[in-house]
Structure 1
Amino acid sequence: MKIAVVDYGMGNLRSVTKALEHVAGDLAEIILTANPAEVAAADKVVFPGQGAMPDCMKELTERGLKQAVLDAAYSRPFLGICVGAQLLFEHSEEGDTAGLGIFKGNVRRFPKMFDTHGQKLKVPHMGWNEMFKVHDHPLCAGISDAERFYFVHSYHFQPEEDITVLESAYPYRFAAAVARDNIFAIQCHPEKSHHAGLSLLKNFVNWNGNT
C-alpha cells in the first residue's frame, strides 16, 4: 500500500511524513511527492498545509496538483491537515480566497475574544487544547474524549452541513475535525500531538475509507 503526502511547498511536510512512517511500519510505503501522477496512483492521500490560505491555493494550482487532490478526495481514503483541511471548504476570509469546494461552508478568522477574567485571547490560537467527540469515527478509535491536540491557527472552518466529528473551544466551541465518506479533515496538527495524534494517524493507515 502507498500513502502519498502531497508536496506543494506549503506544509509541515517532514514532520507529517516522519510521523506516518513511524505509525505505518511495514503496512505502507509513505511517499512525499509533488508529482500528480504519483498522487493519482497512491492508495491513500494526505493533504497537509501551513501558512496563508491564498498562498497555499496559488502553489497548489501552479504546481498542477489541484485536480489530483480533487480526484483523490472523491475516490480514496483522504486526510486533510490544518490549512489542507481548510482548503476543502468553499471559501476563506483569509485573502477572500476560493477553496476547493468539497465541503459546504466557510473558513473564518477568530474574532476579538476575551476569557472569563476579561483578558484578551491571543490570535493565533496556539498550543494544546482539548478535542470533544461529536460523532464517532474510525479515525478517533482509541482516543479518549477531551484528549489534547496541538493547534496553530488564526482561522477555523464553519461547515454548513452535519459533518463535524470533533470540536474544540477557544473560548467557544468550533468544528475542529470534519468527515464525510472517505474524507477526514482536521484543524490541528496530529503529527505534533504526541500519542493522541499518532493514534489518529495510525487509524488512518488502517482505514478503508468507510464510516
Structure 2
Amino acid sequence: MTGIVNYGAGNIFSLTAALERLNLEYGMINSESDFDLYERIIIPGVGHAGAAMKKLIDTGLVPKIKSLTKPVLGICVGMQLITDFSEEGNSEMLGIIPVKTLKFKEDISKKVPHMGWNQIFVQNENLLFAGIADETYFYFVHSYYIEFNSKFTISYCNYGTKFSASIKKNNFYGVQFHPEKSGEAGEKLLQNFAHLKI
C-alpha cells in the first residue's frame, strides 16, 4: 500500500483519483508513525518549492523522510524537494539527491512555465519505466527544472535546455512530470512504482 505525505502543498485529488482508477490502495501520512503503515511513499507537490519546503519542515516529518529505506517517489515539486537546493525562494531542500533545482532562462522561443506534453528520453534502464517506450510523452507544468546529471538522471527532457525529467538515488525517485495527468503512460509508471521493492 502507498502512503501520500499530506503536508498541505500537494495536488492530492488528481493523484488519489489516478490511484483509485488503478485500484491501488493508498492512505494519507499525517504523522511520523503513519510511515510504518505503508510499503512505499509518494511526496506530491505543486506551486512554490520554497513554500512547500517550509510546510514540510513545519510538519516535523523531514528527519523521518530522510531516513526512509522504502521506495519514495517525489512528483513535480515533490521531486524538487528531494534535491539539494532550489532557486525558487533560494531555499535549501531535503538534500537527498545532490542536484539543484534551477529556473528556466527567459528564451523567446520557449514559454515559461513549461506546460503541456513533452517527450522523455530514458537515460538509464529502470524498473520505474518498465513497459514504457523511450520518447513517450508525459504532461509537464513547471517553471523550475532539475539540472541534468548523468549519475542520477533516469530520463531527461528538452525544453530550451536539457533537464532531468526523472531522477533516482537508492530508494528515492523523482519525476518532474505529472504521471497522474499523463494518460496510459503515467498510469503505467504509477503501477510500476506500486510494485517496486527495494
Answer whether TM exceeds 0.5 for this pair.
yes
8 Å CA contact 2:149–2:164 kept in 1: the answer is no
2:153 counterpart letter in structure 1: T
Measured against aligned partners, the alpha-carbon deviations of 1:113-135 in whole angstroms (never above 9, x if no partner) come to 243xxxxx211110111111111
8 Å CA contact 1:104–1:160 kept in 2: the answer is no
TM-score scaled by length of structure 2: 0.94
TM-score scaled by length of structure 1: 0.89
1:38 corresponds to: 34
CA distance in 2, matches of 1:102, 1:18: 28
1:70 corresponds to: 66
CA distance in 1, matches of 2:148, 2:104: 15
8 Å CA contact 1:108–1:155 kept in 2: the answer is yes
1:179 corresponds to: 168
Where 1:54 maps in the other structure, the secondary structure is: helix
CA distance in 1, matches of 2:65, 2:15: 17
Measured on the aligned residues, the alpha-carbon RMSD in Å equals 1.4
Report the alpha carbon displacement of residue 32 of structure 1 after superposing the two structures with TM. Answer: 2.0
Pair 1:51–1:178, CA change in 2 (3 A):
same
2:136 corresponds to: 147
- State the 4+ residue runs in structure 1 displaced beyond 3 angstroms: none
Larger mean CA deviation between 9-18 and 131-140 belongs to: 9-18
Pick from 175, 180, 184 the counterpart of residue 191 of structure 1: 180
8 Å CA contact 2:166–2:175 kept in 1: the answer is yes
Aligned residues: 198
Which structure has the greater CA radius of gyration?
A: 1
Pick from 51, 56, 59 the counterpart of residue 47 of structure 2: 51
Percent of paired sites with the same residue = 37
1:85 corresponds to: 79
Where 1:104 maps in the other structure, the secondary structure is: coil
8 Å CA contact 2:4–2:43 kept in 1: the answer is yes
1:118 corresponds to: none
1:15 corresponds to: 14
CA distance in 1, matches of 2:29, 2:54: 17
CA distance in 2, matches of 1:32, 1:22: 17
CA distance in 1, matches of 2:36, 2:91: 25
Q: Equivalent residues in 2 for 1:156-175 (5 A)?
A: 156-158=145-147, 162-175=151-164
CA distance in 2, matches of 1:53, 1:108: 11
2:40 counterpart letter in structure 1: K
